[in-house]
Each structure stands twice: as structure tokens, then as C-alpha cells.
Amino acid sequence: MTESPAGPALEPLPGLKLWPGRLDAAAQAALRDAVRVALGTAPPYRPVTPCGRPMSVRMSNLGPLGWVADRSGGYRYQQTHPATGRPWPPIPPLLLDLWANHADPDRPPDACLVNLYGTDARMGLHQDRDEADLTAPVLSVSLGDTALFRFGPAEGGPTRSLRLASGDVLLLSGPARLCRHGIDRLLPGSSRLLPGGGRLNLTLRRAG
Ligand code: MD6
Ligand code: FE
């Protein structure tokens, strides 16, 4: 994996750090291929919110724990795929290296949520708060089409947006760990990494 210069290029809120183009083209292709293989045994599905609404983003997970949602159980982490009943595939080493470099060298992640966006998919404003330790950082990697990422302080108030392009790495840590964030929309045709377009976002956490 090619290393970019140390330190985030942007920190638009204290603790919200962005490394644009952190993964070069070869690393992006390698990660795409590793995730594609893993999704062969953990097929993406559309979770249903506790209110009964199917999400527009398709999801799967990698690692010991996976984030799931359904009508009866709400939002939670579990060790198995809800449809196949099998354990989630392992987190690729490239992602574990990124975590060690940018999030926490001492405690590895135990969950990686895989979000797959078709051209019209979006994700509403939310906070990541289903993890046992809400002080552990969350690190995400984006692949494929650029997304408009909206974010604002945890307490509410005005939001801003930034673009997440293929190869970008984003960290929510410290005072930004509970910031509100979501994906307004994709910029279709902005990347040729994924056949057919769309976007893949991989979010590493310490969940348990
Ligand atoms: C996405 N990302 O980029 C959605 N959460 O598709 C997230 O919800 C997210 O990027 C926590 C930390 C980083 C993220
Ligand atoms: Fe999130």
C-alpha cells in the first residue's frame, strides 16, 4: 500500500479528519477486489429500519461483529449474517493497516460495515452510537463514485458538506465521534473503479 504524507489534510471539525486520496489507484483496486470476494460469502442486503422502511443502501459486514437492523430487533451488532446465518468474512489486512495508522495502533477494529450505494441511494443524518465504547474512533474508506457527505455537531445546529472521493479516508474521533452525518447523494459517473458505477464505503469500528 502506498503511504501518503503523514497527518490529515483537512480537519473541518475538531476530530473529524479527512485524508483525500489516501489510497492510490492500485490500493483501491486491490481493496475493491478483496471486498468483492468477501461479499461472495456475505451477500449485501437491504436492512429494514425499526420503523419498517427498507434502507436505500445495501449492506454487509466484515469482521467478528456486524451491524444489522431489522423491524423486530432494532439496530445492533451480531456475529452472523442475518440471511445466511454464517460468520462474517475477515477484515482485509489493508484495512487493518489503515486503522493502525490513523485510528488506534493498540486496539484493532472488530467490525467493518460495508455500505453499497447505487446511483440513487442515500443515507440520512445519523450518529454512530450502537458501539459499546463511544470514545473509540470510527474510520471509513470510500471507493467508487464521489459522495456528498453532510456533517454537523452532535448537539445539532448547522451542517456543512464535503466530497468523499474514491480512495479518501475519514476519521470520526474525539469531539467529532458523535457528530451527525449522512450521505446526501452521489455524483454519478465520477469514478470508473466499480463496474456499473455506484459507491462502496467501508466503516471500521470497535463495536464490542
Ligand atoms: C458513508 N458513512 O460514507 C456513510 N459513519 O457511506 C458513515 O455513516 C460514517 O463515513 C461513521 C464514520 C465515518 C463514516
Ligand atoms: Fe455513520
171, pLDDT greater than 70: yes
Ligand 2 center to residue 129 CA distance, Å? 9
Q: Tell me the pLDDT tens digit for each residue of 48-70.
A: 999 999 999 999 999 999 999 98
pLDDT band at 6, cuts 50/70/90? low
Please give the pLDDT value at position 43.
98
Strand partners, 147: 164, 186
Please give the pLDDT value at position 73.
87
Ligand 2 center to residue 182 CA distance, Å? 7
pTM recorded for the entire structure: 0.95
Ligand 1 center to residue 48 CA distance, Å? 18
Please give the pLDDT value at position 3.
45
Which residues have C-beta within 8 Å of that of residue 112, sequence separation ≥ 6? 61, 62, 63, 91, 95, 202, 203, 204, 205
Q: Which CATH architecture has domain 10-152+162-205?
A: Sandwich (2.60)
The neighbourhood of ligand 2, an ion, using CB within 5 A, equals 128
C-beta of 170 in contact with ligand 1 (< 6 A): yes
Please give the pLDDT value at position 9.
83
Q: Where are the domains of the chain?
A: 10-152+162-205
Please give the pLDDT value at position 2.
40
Please give the pLDDT value at position 8.
76
Cα gap 12→22, rounded to integer Å:
17
Q: Tell me the pLDDT tens digit for each residue of 67-79.
A: 999 898 899 999 9
- Are the CB atoms for 78 and 89 separated by under 8 Å? no
> What beta strand segments (E) does 43-119 contain?
58-62, 66-70, 74-78, 111-117
